[in-house]
């Protein structure tokens, strides 16, 4: 998976299409990502002993194929590629060839 924790992304599909955010967590086994402020769902929590029940909002995971990495130089969402530079594998922007 070419998306890493901490990347800035843009959603390209679903109810959050066009919105951007920062990746909080990646789940490589299911190829999903959790993005700060996107795919918000409400979770109902039952009352525990001495605590009230409540409804909380949290970011749910969604498929990594629905996001593009945001390239600072291009100012757009782009796919990422890999190449080897000085014996180190780096990700680069497919549009402007800049290292991400």
Please give the model's pTM, rounded to 2 decimal places: 0.82
pLDDT, tens only, 21-66: 999 999 999 999 999 999 999 999 999 999 999 999 999 999 999 9
Residue 97 lies in a domain: no
Residue 21 lies in a domain: yes
Residue 83 lies in a domain: no
Residue 53 lies in a domain: yes
Residue 99 lies in a domain: no
Residue 35 lies in a domain: yes
In total, how many domains does the chain have? Answer: 1
CATH number of the structural domain spanning residue 36: 2.30.30.30
DSSP string, the chain: ----TT-EEEE-SSTTTT-EEEEEEEETTTTEEEETTSSEEEEEE---TTS--EEEEEEPPEEGGGEEEEETTTTEEE-EEEEEETTEEEEEETTT--B-
């Amino acid at each position: 998976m070419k998306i890493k924790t901490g990347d800035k992304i843009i959603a390209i599909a679903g109810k959050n299409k066009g919105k951007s955010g920062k990746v909080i967590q990646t789940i490589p086994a299911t190829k999903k990502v959790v993005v700060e402020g996107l795919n918000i769902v409400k979770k109902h929590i039952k009352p525990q002993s001495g605590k009230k029940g409540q409804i909380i909002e949290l970011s749910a995971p969604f498929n990594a194929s629905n996001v593009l990495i945001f390239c600072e130089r291009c100012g757009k969402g782009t796919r990422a590629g890999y190449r080897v530079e000085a014996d180190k594998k780096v990700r680069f922007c497919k549009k402007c060839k800049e290292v991400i």
